[in-house]
Chain A
Amino acid sequence: MDVKITNQDNKTLVVLDGRLDTTNADRFQQDVNPLMQMEHPDIDIDCSGMSYTSSQGLRIFLMLQKSVLAHGGKMVMRNMNPQVKEVFDITGFSNIITIL
């Protein structure tokens, strides 16, 4: 999966492309680790190119969300395709993470 992280106007944009599964979850975790050190982060995750997420992906999003809230910030995920959105829905993760 390709992960592109850019910062502009105090906002962090994360663009995801491809499948997030066991083969690349560790790398994704490393990619987002710096975001967990930020104070008052404002993170926008564009999922339009993400075709799938496994449980490991969900765990990383959950960890990121908890860290963001603990640092007084906010995080939204947007543009999920129906298959990815279903994963969030049936696990109850739509109740935890803001999906636009």
Chain B
Amino acid sequence: MPLDMHCEMILDEYRDKLPVFNRIKDILLANLRKSLDEKNIIVAGLETRIKTEKSLTGKLELKGYKYRTLDDITDILGARIITFFSDEVDIISALVERMFEIDWENSVDKRKMLEIDRFGYMSLHYICRIPKSMCDDPAMPEINQVRFEIQMRSALQHVWANMQHDMGYKSDVEIPVEYQRNMSRLAGMLELADEQFSRIRKEITDYRRNVQSLVASGNFDEVPLNGDTFRSYCELKPLQRLADKIATINQAELYDDSLMPYYNVLVHMGMKTIGDVERLRIENSEAAYQLALLQLAGTGLDIVAYSVALQNLCIVYILKQGFGEAGLVRMFAALYGESAYNAQRASRIYQQAKKINLVS
């Protein structure tokens, strides 16, 4: 269907303003990325697009009569920020409010528009302008005049919107009655899942805080060994003394690496609580040092990793428990995967352990 003269004028205006939209798009994307980075906010997606001429033509064919000029169409340029969790949408919107001039009259919180018995397309749409504080270019003053849209939604809201769009419906009102119930059930499920993800994340955050205080309090026997508790325990640098002592053998530099790879080894060794790990440290530190002394003295190697302390503690524990070379091979396999090196290394250490009477 050919466009009427009025719509053709809007289309001409669009073509003239494309360089402006492109410039705003670059400014918008760069500033959004920078702000998200600065605030350490990780999003599931950040995308921008300029409406194509074909798409605009389609829109004008359908409802061109609603628009006086191109300025009345606020979604020629759009950005979409997709968060992992629904409660992050409010954090992002606060950020967007601080960054851009918001046209409140035309901005929509679709999350609040749905009737109580309806679910579906939920996202926050802000109509914005670039403030002069962000970009002031006398050669292109339109940068601060043209409006654009920023959509903010969670990943699941995004999935829902895309599914609906893919099925050819822009809102659930257009869905035939017989399918509405099923669509509502699905939408409700996604909305509930979104809420649950946010709730679970909050609970995990609270749990980690509790674990940190429990570990910090020193009641190690009350703290079950898991990835979170072990990380908190490691933050206390429990092996610093032993590692420093090992470093002293060659007046070595101590490289501060992570102990986390040893979590699986400790679990394999049957440790159930942080208290078990603490006993491993207390009861085996001297033997772990003696092993390091035997291995490092006279080598001139003047750099050692912090993790060598836990490495030797585990070796000593395994040998003391009578698991022998096979136990060491299992430990190395848990750390580095299956490898021919593991048996060679276990054999070498076993011979060294005999020299310091760790094994007979």
Contact = CB atoms under 8 A, between A and B. Distances in A.
Interface of A: 54-55, 58-59, 62, 80, 82, 85-87, 89-96, 99-100
Contacts of B359: none
B303 to A, nearest CB: 5
B207 interface: no
Contacts of B306: 92
A89 B300 contact: no
B299 A90 contact: yes
Contacts of A80: 341
A92 B292 CA distance: 10
B257 A92 contact: yes
Interface string B303-316: 11111100100000
A46 B26 CA distance: 45
A82 B349 CA distance: 13
11 contacts: A55-B300, A58-B303, A59-B303, A87-B299, A90-B299, A91-B303, A91-B308, A92-B255, A95-B257, A95-B261, A96-B307
Contacts, number: 59
Interface string B265-302: 00000000000000000000000000010011001111
Interface of B: 252, 255, 257, 261, 292, 295-296, 299-308, 311, 335-336, 339, 341, 344-345, 348
Contacts of B301: 54-55, 58, 87, 90-91
Contacts of B299: 87, 90
Contacts of A85: 341, 344-345
> In the complex, which of the residues A54, A62, A87, A94 has the most CB atoms of chain B within 10 Å of its own CB atom?
A94
Which 5 A-B pairs give the minimum distances between C-beta atoms?
A: A92-B305, A92-B308, A90-B295, A95-B307, A55-B302
Contacts of B302: 55
Contacts of A99: 336, 341
A73 B304 CA distance: 24
A30 B305 CA distance: 24
A45 to B, nearest CB: 15
Nearest to B257: A96
B344 A82 contact: yes
Contacts of A91: 296, 301, 303-305, 308
Nearest to A86: B348
Given A85-B345, A94-B336, 12 more contacts: A55-B300, A55-B301, A58-B301, A58-B303, A86-B348, A87-B301, A89-B345, A91-B304, A92-B311, A95-B261, A95-B305, A95-B307
A95 B303 contact: no
Given A58-B303, A95-B305, A95-B307, A90 B296 contact: yes
B345 to A, nearest CB: 6
A95 B299 CA distance: 19
Contacts of A54: 300-301
A43 to B, nearest CB: 18
Nearest to B243: A92
A95 B345 CA distance: 14
A95 B334 CA distance: 12
A73 B300 CA distance: 31
Contacts of A87: 299, 301
Nearest to B255: A62
A76 to B, nearest CB: 11
B352 to A, nearest CB: 9
Contacts of B336: 94, 99
Contacts of B255: 62, 92, 96
A80 to B, nearest CB: 8
Nearest to A96: B257
A39 B339 CA distance: 30
Contacts of A93: 305
Nearest to B345: A89
